[in-house]
Amino acid sequence: MKTKKLNVALIGCGAVSRNHGKALLNNEYATLRYIVDINRDHAEKFQEKYGGEILSDYRELYEKDVDVVHVITPHYTHPEIVIDMLEHGFDVLTEKPIAIDRRDGVRMIDKSEELGRRLGVCFQNRLNKATKMAKEIIDDKRYGNIVSMMGLVGWDRSGKYYSESPWRGTYEREGGGTIINQSIHTIDLMDYLSGGISEVSAFDAHLRENTEYEVDDFAMAYFKFNSGATGVGFFTNAYEKSKICDVEIHLEGATLLVQQRGLTITHEDGKREFFEAETLTGEKSEWGVSHSLLINEFYRSILEDKPFIADAKTALRTTDIVNAIHNSNGRFIKVRGYEKV
Ligand SMILES: NC(=O)c1ccc[n+]([C@@H]2O[C@H](COP(=O)([O-])OP(=O)(O)OC[C@H]3O[C@@H](n4cnc5c(N)ncnc54)[C@H](O)[C@@H]3O)[C@@H](O)[C@H]2O)c1
């Protein structure tokens, strides 16, 4: 194992950057050196709490002593920034989604493989306690195979959420609404826990009487899984005050309910067991509590040269499923994941 601490730069000091900042405070594997934002005010606010030297253009990083770059910028910027940072020798952890379009994600993966650099994606909920317990139960077949699965998302996004960051709410720059931004975590968990979604038939819509965004605020989907099981998804960010993001999994011998607050196992005789997760204290608890865990896992994957739990290829599958939900209009679309374009 390499003993040196990694030098880190963050690009993008907006809403979710604080989760990255918190993870870097007194981090045993890494030191935050640089923070980059085109908005000086955002960078200064971030710096007050978490430190880092401010740069205004990520290209200033080319000559800096940096090992890892976190890309925490709007969706449409991910391919260009990530590929540029890989080309300049950095390992990259990007926020979700890897890209709006699957084909950009493939280019990003190809570049990371060609240059031998790591590329990870922030799907931190794979490390939530309830997810980890469910994954173990499903994989060791303690209660048999998966029969069916449901993803349920009811978040609340409107008003300031869209006005404070104008890239949100547009197909061009956000790439969609609730499916690609909020529900993507639940869709990722369904793919990750099931052993893979193989086909999707779906409808998405903008149902709210609302002109502040043009993108979808509702979607419903029917999933076929590689295992032969099936599932459904109901996704919205138009449910005021709500923070629901659940995955229910019917196994042959029990039912699992994966939530941010913990895992509930309902047995065939009706008996219930609840395993509580870490306490959710912060705002935006619907994001989950595992950003720091995931970021540390990324650093350890580099230092110990081992696989990363949210590698770019598995993360790209989620973009493909999101694209399929947008494009389906009731037809079945096969999920391809990483496949040359
Ligand atoms: N994993 C999660 O749970 C989670 C939660 C929220 C957001 N996110 C993701 O994080 C990313 C950022 O989302 P956000 O809500 O923080 O957005 P935001 O709009 O609040 O912040 C984005 C920041 O990036 C800066 N920026 C834009 N272009 C830049 C560039 N070229 N160079 C440097 N800085 C630039 C902006 O000035 C802004 O400060 C998105 O991909 C989003 O989906 C992930």
Residues with Cβ within 6 A of ligand 1?
11-17, 36-39, 42, 58, 72-75, 77, 95-96, 122, 124, 165, 181, 287
Atom of ligand 1 nearest to the CA of 124: 1
pLDDT band of residue 210 (cuts 50, 70, 90) is confident
- Domain range for residue 242? 125-288+310-334
Choosing from 36, 46, 72 the residue with most ligand 1 atoms within 8 A of its CB, the one to mutate for a pocket test is 72
Q: 158 and 217 in contact (C-beta within 8 Å)?
A: no
Last residue of a domain, one of 123, 145, 164: 123
CATH of residue 252's domain is 3.30.360.10
- The secondary structure of 195-217 as a DSSP string is T-EEEEEEEEE--SS--S--S-S
pLDDT value at residue 211? 83
Q: How far is CA 68 from CA 8, 82, 91, 196, in A?
A: 5, 11, 5, 29
Same domain for 73 and 166, yes or no, is: no
Residue 161 predicted with pLDDT over 90: yes
Tell me the CA–centroid distance for residue 303 and ligand 1, in Å.
26
Residue 79 predicted with pLDDT over 60: yes
Query: Which protein residue's CA is at the shortest distance from atom 33 of ligand 1?
Result: 37
Both tokens of 270, joined, read: 């009706």
Number of domains in the chain: 2
Same domain for 105 and 206, yes or no, is: no
Tell me the CA–centroid distance for residue 69 and ligand 1, in Å.
14
CB atoms within 10 A of CB 62: 13
Residue 339 predicted with pLDDT over 90: no
Same domain for 152 and 282, yes or no, is: yes
- For residue 272, list its beta bridge partners: 266
pLDDT value at residue 278? 72
* 107-126 confidence digits (pLDDT tens): 999 999 999 999 999 999 99
Same domain for 193 and 65, yes or no, is: no
CATH of residue 67's domain is 3.40.50.720
Tell me the CA–centroid distance for residue 75 and ligand 1, in Å.
8
Nearest to 113 by CA among 86, 95, 146: 86
